[in-house]
Chain A
Amino acid sequence: MTRLQSTFARLRDKRAPGLVTYITAGDPDLDRTAGILRALDRAGADVLEVGVPFSDPLADGPVIQRATERALASGTTLSRVLDLLRELRTDIAAPIVIFSYANPILRLGAEQFADRAREAGVDGVLVLDLPIEEADEFRTMLAGRGIDTILLLSPTTTDDRLRRAAALGSGFLYAISRLGVTGARDALATGAREMVERIRRVSDLPVALGFGISRPDHVREVAQWADAAVVGSALVDVIAREGASRDLNTRVEEYVRWLKS
Chain B
Amino acid sequence: MFLKREDLTHTGAHKINNALGQALLAKRMGKRRVVAETGAGQHGVATATACALLGLECRVYMGTEDMRRQALNVVRMQLLGAAVHGVEAGSRTLKDAINEAMRDWVANVDDTYYLLGSALGPHPYPLMVREFQSVIGREARAQILEQAGRLPDVVVACVGGGSNAIGIFDGFIDDAGVRLIGVEAGGETIAPGRHAARFAGGSTGVLQGTRTFVLQDAAGNIELTHSISAGLDYAAVGPEHAWLRELGRTEYAHISDAEALDGFRTLARLEGILPALESSHAIAYTMQLTPTLQPGSIVLVNLSGRGDKDVQTVIDSGGRVLSDPADAR
Q: Which residues of A does B touch, CB under 8 Å?
A: 54-59, 61, 65, 72, 77-79, 101-108, 129, 156, 179-181
Query: Is B189's CB within 8 Å of the partner chain A?
Result: no
Query: Is B102's CB within 8 Å of the partner chain A?
Result: yes
Report yes or no: B110 in contact with A104, Cβ–Cβ below 8 A: no
In the assembled complex, the Cα of A39 lies from the Cα of B216 at a distance in Å of 34
Query: Is B29's CB within 8 Å of the partner chain A?
Result: no
Report, nearest first, the 8 A-B pairs whose CB atoms are least far apart: A107-B220, A180-B107, A104-B220, A77-B219, A55-B221, A103-B220, A102-B206, A58-B99
Report yes or no: A107 in contact with B219, Cβ–Cβ below 8 A: yes
In the assembled complex, the Cα of A39 lies from the Cα of B16 at a distance in Å of 55
Report yes or no: A56 in contact with B205, Cβ–Cβ below 8 A: no
In the assembled complex, the Cα of A58 lies from the Cα of B206 at a distance in Å of 12
Report yes or no: B222 in contact with A181, Cβ–Cβ below 8 A: no
Report yes or no: A179 in contact with B108, Cβ–Cβ below 8 A: yes
Please pick, from B103, B108, B109, B220, the residue contacting A105 in the complex, using a CB distance under 8 A.
B220
In the assembled complex, the Cα of A106 lies from the Cα of B214 at a distance in Å of 12
Shortest distance from the beta carbon of A129 to any chain B beta carbon, whole Å: 7
Nearest B residue to A102, CB-CB:
B206
Q: A55-B221, A56-B90, A56-B222 are in contact. Are A106 and B205 (CB under 8 A)?
A: yes
User: Which of the listed residues B90, B103, B219 has the most CB atoms from chain A within 10 Å of its own CB?
Assistant: B219
Query: Is B209's CB within 8 Å of the partner chain A?
Result: yes
Please pick, from B98, B109, B204, the residue contacting A156 in the complex, using a CB distance under 8 A.
B109
Report yes or no: A56 in contact with B220, Cβ–Cβ below 8 A: no
Q: Which residues of B does A touch, CB under 8 Å?
A: 89-90, 95, 98-99, 102-103, 106-110, 204-209, 214, 216, 218-222
In the complex, chain B residues whose CB is within 8 Å of the CB of A105:
220
Shortest distance from the beta carbon of A25 to any chain B beta carbon, whole Å: 12
In the assembled complex, the Cα of A55 lies from the Cα of B205 at a distance in Å of 13
Shortest distance from the beta carbon of A158 to any chain B beta carbon, whole Å: 13
Nearest A residue to B222, CB-CB:
A55
In the assembled complex, the Cα of A59 lies from the Cα of B207 at a distance in Å of 12
In the complex, chain B residues whose CB is within 8 Å of the CB of A104:
219-221
In the assembled complex, the Cα of A78 lies from the Cα of B218 at a distance in Å of 10
Report yes or no: B103 in contact with A181, Cβ–Cβ below 8 A: yes
In the assembled complex, the Cα of A55 lies from the Cα of B103 at a distance in Å of 15
In the assembled complex, the Cα of A249 lies from the Cα of B98 at a distance in Å of 36
Q: A54-B220, A78-B220, A79-B219 are in contact. Are A103 and B205 (CB under 8 A)?
A: yes
In the complex, chain A residues whose CB is within 8 Å of the CB of B219:
77-79, 104, 107
In the assembled complex, the Cα of A55 lies from the Cα of B108 at a distance in Å of 24
